[in-house]
Amino acid sequence: MLVQVLNTAVIMDVKVESLKSELKRVREENNTLRVMFEVLSSKYTKLESHLQEINKEQHKGMSSNQIGSVTEPILDVNNRRRLEFPTAKKPLQIFVRTHPMDDSLIVKDGYQWRKYGQKVTKDNASPRAYFRCSMAPICPAKKKVQRCLHDKSILVATYDGEHNHGALHEPSSSTPRGSSVANQLPSIANDKEAMNILALSGLSQTDRRHGEVMNQHNYDTNIKVEEYVSSLIKDPDFTMSLAEAVARTITGELKQQDINLNLNIPEE
């Protein structure tokens, strides 16, 4: 009996030790990523401000050349006049990262949509799907969903019109349980507000598994960051300084962890 208890205690000790070492490893990894992110953020901020300065200078040059001329309309690839929406009335666009193997054009945003058409457009080989809201009998809300030209795993959803029904409903039987982003959202009366939250959330449990939801700004920023990261990786100076920073931080972190473990102080 006593032997059994001792054996159990030893097994528990071993488990505790392995969990401690696992925790330690995860904290180190987390810290490394945090340092990398901080370095990237600071360099990205500097680069962005530098880019803005360059843009300002270019703009000054252009405006001095354009004195007395009429601003040219924005034209598409066929020199056709493109519809320009004022910023305030610009249709809301959200970007949804999906699994590369998932070829459906379904963006789960908490509303029920009925597909009424599909077209292949000139500027994108991927078909564009047309949906209208089916949650209310005469809801004018519509959306178009098309795959991103540059990244097929990203769906671009363009929303037109306002929903004439208030709060987001609970998912109905036609919506798979737990698959809707709205499941994680509180009840929201205003659909634009809902969409803004949707666009900015991107971090719900479901989305971590099925994809990321981004708004236009986040998407553009992500592309910039990705380009910047790839250039930084090629920079040997950056790699060296990053390695030094990581080494310093890990050493400091380990010391702090030992103190915390000895004193049983929980970390944040």
Sheet holding 142-147, edge to edge: 113-120, 127-133, 142-147, 154-160, 92-97, 213-215
Phi-psi category of residue 68: left, alpha or beta, with phi > 0 → left and psi -120 to 50 → alpha: left
> Token match 């590369």: residue?
100
Distance CA(181)–CA(129), nearest Å, equals 20
Size of residue set near DNA by CB under 7 A: 22
Question: Closest CB to DNA among 93 and 221?
Answer: 93
Question: Closest CB to DNA among 80 and 234?
Answer: 80
Q: Which stretch binds DNA (CB under 7 A): 22-30, 126-134, 184-192, 243-251?
A: 126-134
Name, in order, each residue with C-beta under 8 angstroms of 57's C-beta and a sequence gap of 6 or more: none
144 binds DNA (CB under 7 A): yes
Which of 24, 43, 142, 169 contacts DNA by CB under 7 A? 142
Question: Closest CB to DNA among 26 and 149?
Answer: 149
Q: Name the nearest CA neighbour of 213 among 229, 225, 197.
A: 197
> Token match 């998407």: residue?
219
The distance of closest approach from Cβ of residue 195 to DNA in the complex, given in angstroms and rounded to an integer, is 18
121 binds DNA (CB under 7 A): yes
71 binds DNA (CB under 7 A): no
HEC string for 190-259 = CHHHHHHHHHHHCCCHHHHHHCCEEEHHHHHHHHHHHHHHHHHHCCHHHHHHHHHHHHHHHHHHHHHHHH
Q: Which stretch binds DNA (CB under 7 A): 2-10, 26-34, 119-127, 245-253?
A: 119-127
Measure CA of the first residue to CA of the last residue in the chain; give whole Å: 40
Which of 4, 78, 230, 264 contacts DNA by CB under 7 A? 78
Which of 60, 116, 190, 256 contacts DNA by CB under 7 A? 116
Query: Helix (H, G, I), strand (E, B), or coil: what is residue 24?
Result: helix
159 binds DNA (CB under 7 A): no
| 8 A C-beta contact, residue 169 and residue 113 | no
The distance of closest approach from Cβ of residue 122 to DNA in the complex, given in angstroms and rounded to an integer, is 4
Q: Which stretch binds DNA (CB under 7 A): 73-81, 147-155, 185-193, 197-205?
A: 73-81
163 binds DNA (CB under 7 A): no
The distance of closest approach from Cβ of residue 256 to DNA in the complex, given in angstroms and rounded to an integer, is 53
Position 239: which residue type?
T
97 binds DNA (CB under 7 A): no
118 binds DNA (CB under 7 A): yes
90 binds DNA (CB under 7 A): no
81 binds DNA (CB under 7 A): yes
Q: Which residues bind DNA (CB under 7 A)?
A: 78-81, 112-119, 121-123, 128-130, 134, 142, 144, 174
